[in-house]
Amino acid sequence: MRNPIRVFAAAALGAAIFAPAAQAQDMTTATFNGTTIWVGGGVQFLSLPDIRFTEQNGRRQRNSESDWLDFGGAAGAGIETALGIWGSSRVTGSVKGFFANVETDDRKRCNGNCTVFNPANGQALLSSTLSTKTDREADYWGGQVELKFGRLEAVHTKPAIYRNDYFIVGADVRGIDQDNHLRSPVGTPFTYKETLDTTYVGGYIGIGGEYSFGFIPFVGSAVKGVGGIYDRLGLHTFINLRAGLYDAETDYDGRFAGGGFNSRLSQSNDELAFIGTVSLETRKQIGMRTSLSLWTDYEYISSVPKMRYANDDGRPTQIDDEGVFASRTMLRLNIGFGSAQLYEEPLK
């Protein structure tokens, strides 16, 4: 699998370590007057398209059944620094990235009228029984460079509903790299291995700020209104909305062995993809220049590859796609550089 995010994350952390000390003050989710870094870890949920490789009674079986329970570990890091005042906006620049790994396995049995097709030529291998084990591993990674155009002065007053604090323009590269392995030791034994790697390159725009539900009678004010539970616990809540267009380049390589035959097939494909993200953050100040954030990204990706495998009626193997949802939750440690405090005390 291609994992350039490891190099990217290392570069980002290295830049953070050697960044100059500066006075810092946090403006919601943007650095106000200095440099901050964050590191975090958590969990990634990723529901990929089903793999339909074997056949029973003329219908493709679901050899992998993806759902929201498909999850794995995730980690991320970033650095953000003030770039000064541009016109009527205070601007910051940031570099950030993440890496996640999701592994699943399934077993699908077939008794009677079972078929395996060679994906290279559609040759049918008949069998009275199959017990197909599918192992799937996916690396989901990404790196962004972002400009944030915020208010000239920081605002530390809780809004009744939502307060927009900044606009976003960013460039993004990310990837979903899959390694899939299917095999059956019974009936007509076969093994099939494929790599299915997609790289997304594009840009996005967005907005962000602090939100509250204090306007909702009783419940809203008690939880997130001024003086509510969140206030008493020192918690603040923020939202970030982003939407972008991407070139999605997919490379497929499949190797099949069964029925005395061995074959290999490679293909490539390009699609236009839309990625929309809603990010929610709940933050707790733990020091004058540090805080903890529970950060969740909810994503929709309009084009994620899946394979349509060849059969004996002449249809060739080809790359197809479908939209999927993903979510990633991380606990992040935010650290501001410099001798001055990162936050005004107390936050209200």
Which residue, among 330, 328, 242, 331, has the nearest Cα to 46 in the 3D structure? 328
Domain contains 348: no
Residue 228 · residue 218 · CB < 8 Å: no
Measured CA to CA, the distance from residue 89 to residue 147 in angstroms comes to 11
What backbone phi and psi angles, to 5 degrees, belong to 189? Answer: -65, 140
Q: Does the pLDDT of residue 188 top 50, yes or no?
A: yes
Range(s) of the domain holding residue 318: 5-336
Chain-centre distance for alpha carbon 19: 27
Total tally of structural domains belonging to the chain: 1
Angle (CA) 12 18 21, round 5°: 115
The CATH number of whichever domain residue 75 belongs to comes to: 2.40.128
Interval 126-143 mean pLDDT: 97
Residue 95 lies in a domain: yes
Q: 161 lies in a domain?
A: yes
Asked whether residue 42 is domain-assigned, the answer is: yes
For the ranges 208-212, 307-311, 337-341, the lowest mean pLDDT is seen at: 337-341
Backbone φ and ψ for 312, nearest 5 degrees, come out as: -85, 5
Containing 255, the helix (H) or strand (E) segment is strand 235-258
298/168 Cα distance (integer angstroms):
17
Question: Is the pLDDT reported for residue 338 higher than 70?
Answer: no
Alpha-carbon distance of 82 to 19, in angstroms, equals 12
| pLDDT tens string 248-281 | 999 999 999 998 889 999 999 999 999 999 999 9
First to last CA, the chain: 47
Residue count of the chain? 348
Note the helical H segments in the chain.
Answer: 5-17, 219-223, 229-233
Q: Would you say residue 346 lies in a domain?
A: no
Residue 347 confidence (pLDDT) above 50:
no
CA diameter of the chain: 74
Instruction: Pick 158 or 304 by higher pLDDT.
Output: 304
345 domain residue, yes or no: no
Which neighbouring-strand residues pair with 1? Answer: none
By mean pLDDT, which of 89-93, 154-158, 235-239 is the weakest? 154-158
The token duo for 176 is 């979903």
Decide if 257 is inside a domain. yes
Query: Using 50, 70 and 90 to split pLDDT, how confident is the model at 170?
Result: very high
pLDDT at 6: 43
User: Does residue 347 lie within any of the structural domains?
Assistant: no
Q: pLDDT of 37-61, one tens digit each? A: 999 999 999 999 999 999 999 999 9
